[in-house]
Amino acid sequence: MSNVPQQPSATRYVTAGVCLIGAMVCLPAGFIQMVLVLQRGGYGSDSLGYAIAWLGLGGGLLGLGMAVLIWELSVRHGIRH
């Protein structure tokens, strides 16, 4: 493994921001869709699958955004990892 220090990158900040904003859109949309499907009694329907997919996408974007943000901040502040 190379010990060459990484350089700070605005691309990582932008990527983290886009992922976090996307998560803040997907998670409420999935939650609202889930509530509406369950109120209609749509257990086991395709709509329930779409709601779960939205929630999964939102969770993935949230995790990715936080990981990239932590990575960028550790590089900017010189924290060895």
Residues 7, 21 contacting (CB under 8 angstroms): no
| 27, 62 Cβ separation under 8 angstroms | yes
Highest mean pLDDT among 34-43, 52-61, 69-78: 52-61
- pLDDT score at 25: 97
Residue 23 confidence (pLDDT)? 98
Q: To the nearest whole number, what is the mean pLDDT of the chain?
A: 90
pLDDT confidence of residue 17: 96
pTM for this predicted structure: 0.85
pLDDT above 60 (res 7): yes
- Whether the pLDDT of residue 81 is over 60: the answer is no
